[in-house]
Structure 1
Amino acid sequence: MSKEHNITLIPGDGIGPEVTTSARSVIEAAGVKVKWDVVEAGAKVMDEYKTPLPDYVLESIKKNKIALKGPVTTPIGSGFRSVNVALRQTFNLYANVRPIKTYEGIPTRYDNVDLIIVRENTEDLYAGVEHKIGDYAAESIKIITKEASTRIAKFAFDMAEKQNRKKVTAVHKANIMKYSDGLFLNCAREVAAAHEDIPFEDMIVDAMSMKLVQTPEKYDVLVMPNLYGDILSDMAAGLVGGLGVAPGANIGDDIAVFESIHGSAPDIAGKNIANPTAAILSGVMMLRFIGEMEAADKIDNAIKAVLKEGKVVTVDLGGKASTDEFTEEVVKKIG
């Protein structure tokens, strides 16, 4: 009998409450005992707390160490920079892990894609060090450190070893940014030298973009600085069916937050048509992280079965099922 887990649940904005409810239902159907600490963040609490990330959210995550999070709306161009960035920096969630995988039944031009993007999560341009220069310019400072670069490279190689992955590729722009990306690349090479059993290569980010579109099946673990990871993970999700099937995790030394790649999609919020697959698969990543392997496999296999059949899938995947109907079908397959 599995133990009860204390997990923070952040429903989020837009479609967040719908897809996190689906993930929660599926996790419970798989027999995992969870005491959910539901805390609100995002646009819905702005008026009351004057911030999208109240202290009680941080306190809950700090206490429980594990969180499942829905998408939270980030203001564009002004105001609070980003709840996601704030969480990553507050808890030093230095590794952003985004698996990209083809599922039989999802219409796509590609077969056998199964790669993981490992993105450094705390610095680069996302450190938010920027300022205006009079009224005619603005400057953002790209921060790359040896400590963070070495740490994320070690994380990528450790993951490759644990999951029996075949290759690690470091992605960079060191041909132009010789100091910042050059430092990242040198750190990756030093870590690679200590893992001779795993093949290593490096790739300039623009060439990597082309290669991912041409032959994504040739890549396995990709490790890169923050900005490139954000862009390439969204692009790679497009190769396998879209953001609706792309899960993610933010992992630190003692705290981890699991969330889909996709945003809050306010245009379809409340319509019961959102695809909860990414949220459910983020839950699968979470279960594996906390050692609930059997339940994780049950859910993963159920998702594969529903997608392969293609009879009860959401609109974005070419079907007509509602969020609830898709969730119920996954629960049936767990059976």
Structure 2
Amino acid sequence: MYNITLIPGDGIGPEVAEAAKSVIEATGVKIRWETVNAGIDVLAKEGILVPDKVFESLEKTRIALKGPITTPIGSGFKSINVMLRKKYDLFSNIRPIKAIPGIAVPFQNVDLVIFRENTEDLYIGVEKTIDEGTAEAIKRITREGSLRIIKAAFAYAHQNHKSKVTVVHKANIMKLTDGLFLQCAREVSKDYPHIQLQEVIVDNMCMQLVMNPSQFQVIVTTNLYGDILSDLCAGLVGGLGVVPGANLGKDMAVFEAVHGSAPDIAGKNIANPVAMILTGAMMLHYLGESDKSYSIYKAVETTILEGKFVTKDLDGSASTKDMTNAIIENISL
């Protein structure tokens, strides 16, 4: 029995979180869900964006499945995602990008994983006004932060029999910050002589990805570049509605789909549940339930390839619940 925190979120969050929960339970894995919530709905009811019970649950279970959460626009509100990553040092953001048969995209053989450093770079949010016409932001890269995300990427490549890791940087211009990240990649690569280290400047990387994405296997990069490249790569395989994600630290993991809360379609039972369902599959793999995880991946592929029960964004007309039920029906236990 696994104890897992479930954070449904807001917008379409509760719908896709329930879909993922149902699919996970259909595999037979025994989970005791501890449901807590955060976001604008909680803010309206309780006057606080993230109640203490969310933190208490996370610190008890050390693992969470999280739906999308809206960040209110206005002073004083920070991204809940960024806050959780910083608070619990969830330094590794992992996003598998894989083409799913049945989705009409230009490239059918995309299969790569992005390792994005999650706690440093411009996302530390240190900014100041120099004068009325000038603002400044701090870009912070540390050796410790760089080494641990790069080591995670190489370890993944080694464990999954990948032959190449691509480090993405802009060290030709930012010689100290990106230069440090690049130097750390070169150091780590020496411990993995069987894995090729490829060095690509970020602007060239964007071009290469849209021309020939299948040349890449494992990508490791800094926070800002990783954020941009993750969405670019999602577009290669059908959009954010089919891409899972995870935030991992030393002893805590928060699994979340990378798409937004889409409040305009909330409650209409038309949201695509695939990203959240595949995020659940990632979580099962993390727990050591690899067979159950794979059964979900295959069920999603089968459902999409059949094309009968897929949501509007996948050129179908099925509801969220109909697609979820079809995936459950296609799970092979």
Indicate whether the TM-score tops 0.5.
Answer: yes
Write out aligned runs for 1:217-232 (5 A).
217-232=214-229
Counterpart CA distance in 2 for 1:145 and 1:109 is: 38
Contact 2:167–2:220 under 8 Å retained in 1: yes
Distance between the aligned counterparts of 1:284 and 1:252, measured in 2? 18
> Aligned partners of 1:102 and 1:214: how far apart in 2?
15
SS at match of 2:161: coil
Q: TM-score, normalised by structure 2?
A: 0.97
| Alignment pair present for 1:292 and 2:276 | no
- Measure the CA separation in 2 of the matches of 1:114 and 1:55: 39
CA distance in 2, matches of 1:234, 1:85: 17
| Equivalent residue number for residue 216 of structure 1 | 213
Structure 1 position 300, deviation (Å) = 1.1
Question: What is the CA deviation profile of residues 75-131 of structure 1, one whole-angstrom value per residue up to 9, with x for unaligned ones?
Answer: 346332210111101111000000000011011010210000100001111111112
Aligned identity (percent) is 58
Change (3 A) 1:50 1:181: farther
1:33-44 to structure 2, matched below 5 A, reads 33-44=30-41
Q: Is the 8 A contact 2:241 2:275 kept in 1?
A: yes
Distance 1:178 1:77 in 2: 35
Partner residue in 2 for 1:106: 103
Q: Where does residue 193 of structure 1 map in the other structure?
A: 190
**What is the Cα deviation at residue 62 of structure 1?**
1.0
Q: 1:50 to 1:127 in 2, by over 3 A?
A: farther
Match of 1:78 in 2: 75
- Answer yes or no: is 1:319 the counterpart of 2:303: no
Moved more, 129-138 or 113-122: 129-138
Q: Which of 225, 234, 240 does residue 231 from structure 2 map onto?
A: 234
Counterpart position of 2:303: 306
Separation of aligned partners in 1, 2:292 and 2:202: 37
For residues 204-253 of structure 1, what are the alpha-carbon distances to aligned partners after superposition, in whole Å with 9 as ceiling and x for unaligned?
00000000000000000000000110111001000000100000000011
Gaps of 5+ in 1: none
1:261 maps to 258
Aligned counterpart for 1:93 among listed residues 90, 95, 98: 90
Correspondent of 1:333 among 307, 330, 333: 330
Q: CA deviation at 1:136?
A: 2.8
In 2, Cα distance between equivalents of 1:49 and 1:174: 46
TM-score by length of 1: 0.97
Q: For 2:119 and 2:126, locate their aligned partners in 1 and report how far apart those are by CA, in whole Å.
A: 12
Q: C-alpha separation between the residues in 1 aligned to 2:60 and 2:135?
A: 39
Q: Give the aligned residue type for 1:243.
A: L
Q: Is the 8 A contact 1:51 1:80 kept in 2?
A: no
Q: Within 5 Å, which residues of 2 pair with 1:242-281? A: 242-281=239-278
**Hey, what's the Cα distance between the residues in 1 that align with 2:162 and 2:105?**
23
**SS in structure 1 opposite 2:53?**
helix
Equivalent position to 2:158, from 142, 145, 161: 161
Verify the 8 A CA contact 1:273 1:321 in the aligned structure 2.
yes
Q: Which segment is superposed worse, 126-135 or 36-45?
A: 126-135
2: CA distance between counterparts of 1:140 and 1:49? 34
Matches within 5 A, 1:44-63: 44-63=41-60
Task: Report the counterpart of residue 126 of structure 2 in structure 1.
Answer: 129
Query: Residue 91 of structure 2 contacts residue 247 of structure 2 at CA under 8 Å; is this kept in 1?
Result: yes
The residue number in structure 1 matching 2:142 is 145
* Contact preservation (8 Å) 1:170, 1:202: yes
Query: How far, CA to CA, are the matches of 1:241 and 1:176 in structure 2?
Result: 33
**Correspondence for 1:206:** 203
Residues 103 and 237 in structure 2, CA contact (< 8 A), matched pair in contact too: yes
Separation in 2 of the partners of 1:31 and 1:251? 25
Query: How far 1:49 sits from its partner (Å)?
Result: 4.7
Q: How many residues align?
A: 332
Matched residue SS, 1:316: helix
Alignment deviations for residues 173-199 of structure 1 (CA, whole Å, 9 cap, x no partner): 111111110101000111011111111
